[in-house]
Amino acid sequence: MDTFRTSLSRRSLFALPLLAALPAAAQTETFPNKPIRIIVPFAPGGSGDITARLVGKYIEEKTGQPFVVENKPGANGIVGAMSVKVAPPDGYTLMLATTSTNAANVHMYKNPGYDPEKDFSVVGIIGSSGTFLVVPADSPYKTLADLLADAKARPGKLNFGYFNASSQVPAEVLGKKAGVDWQGVGYKAIGNAWNDLYGGAINFMFVDLTAGRGQVVDKKARALAISLPSRSPLYPDIPVLSETFPGFTSTGFLAIAVPKATPLPIQQRLNTLINEAITAPENNKRLTDEFALTARPLTLEQCAAQDREERAKWADYVKIAKIEPQ
Protein backbone atom coordinates (compact mmCIF):
# COMPACT_ATOMS: atom_id res chain seq x y z
CA MET A 1 0.00 0.00 0.00
CA ASP A 2 2.81 2.41 0.89
CA THR A 3 4.51 1.66 -2.42
CA PHE A 4 1.25 2.31 -4.29
CA ARG A 5 0.74 5.60 -2.49
CA THR A 6 4.27 6.74 -3.23
CA SER A 7 3.92 5.82 -6.91
CA LEU A 8 0.56 7.58 -7.15
CA SER A 9 1.93 10.63 -5.43
CA ARG A 10 4.84 10.85 -7.87
CA ARG A 11 2.56 10.40 -10.86
CA SER A 12 0.19 13.06 -9.49
CA LEU A 13 2.97 15.55 -8.95
CA PHE A 14 4.28 14.92 -12.45
CA ALA A 15 0.81 15.45 -13.90
CA LEU A 16 0.03 18.67 -12.04
CA PRO A 17 1.90 21.04 -14.39
CA LEU A 18 0.24 19.38 -17.37
CA LEU A 19 -3.19 19.71 -15.83
CA ALA A 20 -2.55 23.31 -14.91
CA ALA A 21 -1.50 24.05 -18.47
CA LEU A 22 -4.56 22.53 -20.08
CA PRO A 23 -7.02 25.36 -19.42
CA ALA A 24 -4.58 27.99 -20.76
CA ALA A 25 -3.85 25.89 -23.84
CA ALA A 26 -7.53 25.30 -24.47
CA GLN A 27 -8.24 29.00 -24.03
CA THR A 28 -5.53 29.89 -26.53
CA GLU A 29 -6.83 27.44 -29.11
CA THR A 30 -10.31 28.94 -28.95
CA PHE A 31 -9.22 32.58 -28.67
CA PRO A 32 -11.18 34.74 -29.08
CA ASN A 33 -14.42 33.22 -27.83
CA LYS A 34 -15.98 36.41 -26.45
CA PRO A 35 -16.00 40.14 -27.30
CA ILE A 36 -12.67 41.95 -27.54
CA ARG A 37 -12.41 45.50 -26.24
CA ILE A 38 -9.85 48.02 -27.40
CA ILE A 39 -9.22 51.15 -25.38
CA VAL A 40 -8.46 54.17 -27.54
CA PRO A 41 -6.86 56.69 -25.16
CA PHE A 42 -8.09 59.68 -27.14
CA ALA A 43 -11.42 61.12 -28.19
CA PRO A 44 -13.25 59.96 -31.33
CA GLY A 45 -12.18 61.41 -34.65
CA GLY A 46 -8.42 61.10 -34.28
CA SER A 47 -6.14 58.87 -36.32
CA GLY A 48 -6.00 56.21 -33.62
CA ASP A 49 -9.76 56.02 -33.36
CA ILE A 50 -10.16 55.78 -37.15
CA THR A 51 -7.58 53.04 -37.64
CA ALA A 52 -8.63 51.06 -34.55
CA ARG A 53 -12.12 50.78 -35.98
CA LEU A 54 -10.73 49.72 -39.37
CA VAL A 55 -8.66 46.91 -37.83
CA GLY A 56 -11.43 46.02 -35.39
CA LYS A 57 -13.97 45.53 -38.15
CA TYR A 58 -11.70 43.04 -39.88
CA ILE A 59 -11.03 41.07 -36.69
CA GLU A 60 -14.73 41.00 -35.89
CA GLU A 61 -15.55 39.63 -39.35
CA LYS A 62 -12.67 37.13 -39.19
CA THR A 63 -13.43 35.72 -35.74
CA GLY A 64 -17.18 36.26 -35.42
CA GLN A 65 -16.64 37.98 -32.07
CA PRO A 66 -17.67 41.59 -31.42
CA PHE A 67 -14.80 44.10 -31.39
CA VAL A 68 -15.72 47.05 -29.18
CA VAL A 69 -13.89 50.38 -29.42
CA GLU A 70 -13.98 52.36 -26.18
CA ASN A 71 -12.62 55.90 -26.11
CA LYS A 72 -10.97 56.95 -22.83
CA PRO A 73 -9.32 60.33 -23.42
CA GLY A 74 -7.38 62.30 -20.87
CA ALA A 75 -3.87 63.36 -19.83
CA ASN A 76 -2.26 62.77 -23.22
CA GLY A 77 -3.38 59.14 -23.28
CA ILE A 78 -2.40 58.30 -19.71
CA VAL A 79 -5.99 57.68 -18.53
CA GLY A 80 -6.58 55.05 -21.19
CA ALA A 81 -3.17 53.45 -20.75
CA MET A 82 -3.66 53.07 -17.00
CA SER A 83 -7.00 51.33 -17.51
CA VAL A 84 -5.34 48.74 -19.76
CA LYS A 85 -2.39 48.30 -17.41
CA VAL A 86 -4.69 46.93 -14.69
CA ALA A 87 -6.94 44.91 -17.03
CA PRO A 88 -6.83 41.09 -16.96
CA PRO A 89 -3.94 39.92 -19.18
CA ASP A 90 -6.12 37.60 -21.24
CA GLY A 91 -6.10 39.25 -24.65
CA TYR A 92 -9.62 40.60 -24.38
CA THR A 93 -8.61 44.14 -23.40
CA LEU A 94 -6.30 45.84 -25.89
CA MET A 95 -4.83 49.32 -26.08
CA LEU A 96 -4.45 51.51 -29.13
CA ALA A 97 -0.80 52.34 -28.51
CA THR A 98 0.32 55.64 -30.00
CA THR A 99 3.29 57.94 -30.20
CA SER A 100 1.95 59.64 -27.07
CA THR A 101 1.32 56.57 -24.91
CA ASN A 102 4.37 54.53 -25.87
CA ALA A 103 7.03 56.99 -26.99
CA ALA A 104 6.54 60.54 -25.77
CA ASN A 105 4.85 60.36 -22.37
CA VAL A 106 7.84 58.82 -20.60
CA HIS A 107 9.83 61.89 -21.64
CA MET A 108 7.09 64.48 -21.08
CA TYR A 109 5.91 63.34 -17.62
CA LYS A 110 7.98 62.66 -14.51
CA ASN A 111 5.67 59.82 -13.52
CA PRO A 112 3.02 58.85 -16.06
CA GLY A 113 2.04 55.92 -13.86
CA TYR A 114 3.15 53.20 -16.24
CA ASP A 115 6.21 52.00 -18.10
CA PRO A 116 5.38 51.22 -21.74
CA GLU A 117 8.11 48.59 -21.99
CA LYS A 118 7.56 46.85 -18.65
CA ASP A 119 3.76 47.06 -18.56
CA PHE A 120 2.77 46.40 -22.18
CA SER A 121 3.63 44.26 -25.18
CA VAL A 122 3.01 45.62 -28.66
CA VAL A 123 1.30 42.85 -30.62
CA GLY A 124 0.86 44.66 -33.91
CA ILE A 125 1.73 47.92 -35.62
CA ILE A 126 -0.98 49.43 -37.80
CA GLY A 127 1.34 51.91 -39.46
CA SER A 128 3.68 54.87 -39.24
CA SER A 129 3.13 58.37 -40.54
CA GLY A 130 3.66 62.07 -39.99
CA THR A 131 1.61 65.23 -39.53
CA PHE A 132 0.19 68.21 -41.41
CA LEU A 133 0.79 71.76 -40.25
CA VAL A 134 -2.65 73.22 -40.93
CA VAL A 135 -4.35 76.61 -40.89
CA PRO A 136 -7.96 77.44 -41.81
CA ALA A 137 -8.69 77.64 -45.53
CA ASP A 138 -9.39 81.38 -45.17
CA SER A 139 -6.19 82.06 -43.22
CA PRO A 140 -3.93 84.86 -44.48
CA TYR A 141 -1.02 82.40 -44.24
CA LYS A 142 -0.49 80.86 -47.66
CA THR A 143 2.91 79.36 -46.89
CA LEU A 144 5.06 78.35 -43.94
CA ALA A 145 7.14 81.48 -44.57
CA ASP A 146 4.01 83.62 -44.11
CA LEU A 147 3.27 82.00 -40.75
CA LEU A 148 6.83 82.40 -39.50
CA ALA A 149 7.06 85.99 -40.69
CA ASP A 150 3.96 86.97 -38.72
CA ALA A 151 5.17 85.08 -35.66
CA LYS A 152 8.46 87.00 -35.77
CA ALA A 153 6.63 90.30 -36.24
CA ARG A 154 4.30 89.64 -33.30
CA PRO A 155 6.23 87.68 -30.66
CA GLY A 156 3.99 85.66 -28.34
CA LYS A 157 0.79 86.63 -30.13
CA LEU A 158 0.18 83.48 -32.19
CA ASN A 159 -1.41 80.38 -30.71
CA PHE A 160 -1.27 76.76 -31.76
CA GLY A 161 -3.59 73.99 -30.63
CA TYR A 162 -2.56 70.51 -29.50
CA PHE A 163 -4.30 67.40 -28.19
CA ASN A 164 -1.50 64.82 -28.07
CA ALA A 165 2.29 64.62 -28.32
CA SER A 166 2.24 64.43 -32.13
CA SER A 167 0.50 67.80 -32.24
CA GLN A 168 2.37 69.53 -29.41
CA VAL A 169 6.00 68.54 -29.88
CA PRO A 170 6.40 69.46 -33.59
CA ALA A 171 4.98 72.93 -32.93
CA GLU A 172 7.42 73.48 -30.09
CA VAL A 173 10.34 72.18 -32.16
CA LEU A 174 9.35 74.42 -35.08
CA GLY A 175 9.27 77.44 -32.78
CA LYS A 176 12.76 76.67 -31.48
CA LYS A 177 14.21 76.08 -34.94
CA ALA A 178 12.58 79.20 -36.40
CA GLY A 179 13.45 81.37 -33.40
CA VAL A 180 9.85 82.42 -32.81
CA ASP A 181 7.71 82.61 -29.70
CA TRP A 182 4.13 81.31 -29.78
CA GLN A 183 1.77 79.84 -27.24
CA GLY A 184 0.28 76.35 -27.06
CA VAL A 185 -3.37 75.72 -26.17
CA GLY A 186 -4.17 72.20 -24.97
CA TYR A 187 -7.38 70.33 -25.86
CA LYS A 188 -8.85 67.08 -24.62
CA ALA A 189 -10.38 66.26 -28.00
CA ILE A 190 -9.33 66.92 -31.57
CA GLY A 191 -12.85 68.11 -32.43
CA ASN A 192 -12.58 71.02 -30.03
CA ALA A 193 -9.24 71.99 -31.54
CA TRP A 194 -10.72 71.99 -35.04
CA ASN A 195 -13.59 74.20 -33.85
CA ASP A 196 -11.21 76.74 -32.34
CA LEU A 197 -8.98 76.68 -35.40
CA TYR A 198 -11.92 77.57 -37.64
CA GLY A 199 -13.24 80.04 -35.09
CA GLY A 200 -9.95 81.94 -34.94
CA ALA A 201 -9.05 81.15 -31.32
CA ILE A 202 -5.86 79.41 -32.50
CA ASN A 203 -3.80 80.18 -35.58
CA PHE A 204 -2.50 76.76 -36.55
CA MET A 205 -1.99 73.21 -35.38
CA PHE A 206 -0.23 69.99 -36.27
CA VAL A 207 -2.53 67.04 -36.94
CA ASP A 208 -1.84 63.44 -37.97
CA LEU A 209 -2.15 62.83 -41.70
CA THR A 210 -4.91 60.29 -41.05
CA ALA A 211 -7.06 62.63 -38.95
CA GLY A 212 -6.37 65.71 -41.05
CA ARG A 213 -6.86 64.21 -44.48
CA GLY A 214 -10.58 64.92 -44.75
CA GLN A 215 -10.22 68.56 -43.73
CA VAL A 216 -7.35 69.14 -46.18
CA VAL A 217 -8.90 67.26 -49.11
CA ASP A 218 -12.24 69.04 -48.59
CA LYS A 219 -10.31 72.34 -48.51
CA LYS A 220 -11.61 73.29 -45.09
CA ALA A 221 -8.02 73.51 -43.92
CA ARG A 222 -4.83 74.46 -45.75
CA ALA A 223 -1.71 72.38 -45.13
CA LEU A 224 1.40 74.56 -45.10
CA ALA A 225 3.82 71.67 -44.56
CA ILE A 226 4.15 67.98 -43.75
CA SER A 227 6.54 66.52 -41.16
CA LEU A 228 7.58 63.45 -43.21
CA PRO A 229 11.22 63.04 -44.34
CA SER A 230 10.20 63.57 -47.99
CA ARG A 231 7.15 64.71 -49.91
CA SER A 232 4.19 62.37 -49.86
CA PRO A 233 2.99 60.93 -53.19
CA LEU A 234 -0.51 61.70 -51.95
CA TYR A 235 0.31 65.39 -51.44
CA PRO A 236 3.17 66.17 -53.82
CA ASP A 237 2.48 69.93 -53.76
CA ILE A 238 2.78 70.24 -49.99
CA PRO A 239 6.39 70.91 -48.90
CA VAL A 240 8.02 69.04 -46.05
CA LEU A 241 9.44 70.90 -43.07
CA SER A 242 12.96 69.71 -43.84
CA GLU A 243 12.93 71.79 -47.02
CA THR A 244 13.01 74.86 -44.77
CA PHE A 245 14.79 73.32 -41.77
CA PRO A 246 17.10 70.50 -42.91
CA GLY A 247 16.72 67.34 -40.84
CA PHE A 248 13.45 68.44 -39.21
CA THR A 249 11.02 65.53 -39.35
CA SER A 250 8.40 64.28 -36.93
CA THR A 251 6.94 60.83 -37.42
CA GLY A 252 5.08 58.47 -35.15
CA PHE A 253 3.20 55.21 -35.10
CA LEU A 254 -0.11 53.57 -34.30
CA ALA A 255 -0.05 50.13 -32.73
CA ILE A 256 -2.01 47.69 -30.61
CA ALA A 257 -0.72 46.55 -27.23
CA VAL A 258 -1.76 44.22 -24.41
CA PRO A 259 -0.79 43.91 -20.75
CA LYS A 260 2.69 42.38 -20.50
CA ALA A 261 1.52 39.21 -18.73
CA THR A 262 -0.76 38.20 -21.60
CA PRO A 263 0.20 34.60 -22.61
CA LEU A 264 2.55 34.47 -25.57
CA PRO A 265 0.28 32.24 -27.70
CA ILE A 266 -2.51 34.81 -27.39
CA GLN A 267 -0.08 37.62 -28.28
CA GLN A 268 0.93 35.62 -31.35
CA ARG A 269 -2.71 35.06 -32.32
CA LEU A 270 -3.41 38.78 -32.04
CA ASN A 271 -0.28 39.54 -34.04
CA THR A 272 -1.54 37.27 -36.83
CA LEU A 273 -4.99 38.87 -36.83
CA ILE A 274 -3.60 42.42 -36.91
CA ASN A 275 -1.17 41.59 -39.72
CA GLU A 276 -4.00 40.04 -41.70
CA ALA A 277 -6.14 43.11 -41.09
CA ILE A 278 -3.57 45.63 -42.34
CA THR A 279 -2.57 43.56 -45.36
CA ALA A 280 -6.11 42.76 -46.52
CA PRO A 281 -6.20 44.50 -49.94
CA GLU A 282 -9.03 46.93 -49.23
CA ASN A 283 -7.68 47.85 -45.79
CA ASN A 284 -4.11 48.21 -47.00
CA LYS A 285 -5.22 50.49 -49.82
CA ARG A 286 -7.06 52.73 -47.37
CA LEU A 287 -4.18 52.79 -44.90
CA THR A 288 -1.61 53.69 -47.54
CA ASP A 289 -3.55 55.63 -50.17
CA GLU A 290 -6.04 57.41 -47.91
CA PHE A 291 -4.27 57.76 -44.60
CA ALA A 292 -0.63 57.95 -45.80
CA LEU A 293 0.40 55.25 -43.31
CA THR A 294 3.29 52.89 -43.91
CA ALA A 295 1.51 49.63 -43.12
CA ARG A 296 3.44 46.36 -43.21
CA PRO A 297 3.21 43.11 -41.23
CA LEU A 298 5.70 42.71 -38.39
CA THR A 299 6.53 39.87 -36.02
CA LEU A 300 6.24 40.34 -32.26
CA GLU A 301 10.00 40.81 -32.07
CA GLN A 302 9.92 43.47 -34.80
CA CYS A 303 7.02 45.22 -33.06
CA ALA A 304 9.01 45.36 -29.81
CA ALA A 305 12.04 46.72 -31.65
CA GLN A 306 10.07 49.50 -33.34
CA ASP A 307 8.39 50.36 -30.03
CA ARG A 308 11.84 50.90 -28.48
CA GLU A 309 13.06 52.88 -31.49
CA GLU A 310 10.08 55.23 -31.27
CA ARG A 311 10.83 55.95 -27.59
CA ALA A 312 14.45 56.79 -28.37
CA LYS A 313 13.45 59.00 -31.31
CA TRP A 314 10.90 60.95 -29.28
CA ALA A 315 13.39 61.48 -26.47
CA ASP A 316 15.33 63.56 -29.00
CA TYR A 317 12.21 65.39 -30.21
CA VAL A 318 11.16 66.34 -26.68
CA LYS A 319 14.69 67.47 -25.85
CA ILE A 320 14.82 69.76 -28.88
CA ALA A 321 11.36 71.10 -28.00
CA LYS A 322 12.64 71.91 -24.51
CA ILE A 323 9.46 70.65 -22.89
CA GLU A 324 9.91 70.35 -19.15
CA PRO A 325 8.48 67.08 -17.75
CA GLN A 326 5.29 67.67 -15.80
Q: Write down the pLDDT at residue 24.
A: 52
Which phi and psi angles does 202 have, rounded to 5°?
A: -125, 155
- Give the SS3 label for residue 207: strand
Name the more confident of 4 and 84.
84
The C-alpha atoms of residue 121 and residue 83 are separated, in whole angstroms, by 15
Q: Write down the pLDDT at residue 134.
A: 98
pLDDT category, 279, cuts 50, 70, 90? very high
Q: Which of 26-30, 43-47, 175-179, 277-281 has the lowest mean pLDDT?
A: 26-30
Q: Give residue-wise pLDDT tens across range 305-325.
A: 999 999 999 999 999 998 888
Identity at 218, one-letter amino acid code: D
How many other CB atoms are found less than 10 A from the CB of residue 315?
14
The C-alpha atoms of residue 290 and residue 213 are separated, in whole angstroms, by 8
In Å, how far from its chain's centre is CA 285?
19
Beta-bridge partner residues of 208 = 131
Q: Write down the pLDDT at residue 48.
A: 85
pLDDT category, 169, cuts 50, 70, 90? very high
Q: Write down the pLDDT at residue 283.
A: 95
For the chain, give the number of residues: 326
Q: Prior bond to 32 cis, omega within 30?
A: yes
Does the structure show a pLDDT above 90 at 41? Answer: yes
The C-alpha atoms of residue 135 and residue 224 are separated, in whole angstroms, by 7
pLDDT (mean) for 209-216: 92
The C-alpha atoms of residue 94 and residue 78 are separated, in whole angstroms, by 14
Q: Write down the pLDDT at residue 25.
A: 55
Ramachandran sector of residue 64 (left: φ over 0; alpha: ψ -120 to 50; beta: rest): left
- CA atoms 268, 266, 127, 254: torsion sign: negative
Does the structure show a pLDDT above 90 at 23? Answer: no
Does the structure show a pLDDT above 70 at 5? Answer: no
How many other CB atoms are found less than 10 A from the CB of residue 186?
12
Q: What is the CA radius of gyration of the chain?
A: 23
Q: Which of 129-133, 150-154, 285-289 has the lowest mean pLDDT?
A: 285-289
Q: Write down the pLDDT at residue 2.
A: 41
pLDDT (mean) for 64-72: 96
Beta-bridge partner residues of 162 = 186
Looking at the chain, the whole-number percentage of residues with pLDDT higher than 70 is 91
Q: Give residue-wise pLDDT tens across range 170-206.
A: 999 999 999 999 999 999 889 999 999 999 999 999 9
Q: Write down the pLDDT at residue 249.
A: 93
Q: Write down the pLDDT at residue 26.
A: 56
